[in-house]
Homo-oligomer: A and B are copies of this chain.
């Protein structure tokens, strides 16, 4: 088997992809072509996982009842989060749009099976949390594949994870890693919404300490 090399032009475009990837909260309601979605979900099949455990478990949240349960969950968690802020911060928090759960045509709950049998536990003895990191990494790959198609992804974490697992009736031992809203974004953007809203600024660089 011969190796595979990538061109400088591709690398530049990959950097552009990272630069234009956004956490999207404002979606158009147009449907997403299932063929395109399936092509992007292939990111999971190709993703690395600790010991080849492939611990990701995907649930498509499609029925009105399941959607309603997820939205109610978000609303409760969001109200509680708001109550944790005061004054200016509270006002700013209240003004943020933190989920596209009403609009996003595709919604996916991604779980980690902490007792995934594959891989016989390799690499997860001292750091069992590695399985969840594998799931998070796979989500990152999906995110980039979607953005390359022009699709947006919003990762919602303002949720009670245990309640969502119970409401969706998933297997015992599955832990929510990500609730994903997927669809066509209202706009493409280079700047994070939280930055535009004055909530937080990105750092100009990433310091590296030496040991």
Contacts and interface: CB of A to CB of B under 8 A. Distances in A.
Interface of A: 1-6, 10-11, 13-21, 23, 39, 41-48, 50-54, 56-63, 66, 77, 80-81, 84-85, 89, 93, 98, 108-109, 118-127, 129-130, 132-134, 136-137, 139-141, 143-145, 147-150, 155, 157-161, 168-170, 176-178, 187-192, 194-195, 199-211
Contact of A89 (B46, B98, B120, B143): B120
B209 A59 contact: yes
Nearest to A50: B157
Contacts of A189: 1, 3
B45 A203 contact: yes
Nearest to A138: B140
Contacts of A57: 209
A126 B157 contact: yes
Contacts of A5: 150
B48 A21 contact: yes
A81 B74 CA distance: 40
Contact of A211 (B14, B19, B42, B62): B62
A5 B151 CA distance: 10
8 contacts: A2-B188, A4-B190, A14-B145, A15-B42, A15-B145, A45-B204, A81-B122, A127-B161
A52 B120 contact: no
A38 to B, nearest CB: 9
A133 B45 contact: no
Given A52-B194, A77-B125, A145-B14, A199 B58 contact: no
A109 B210 CA distance: 10
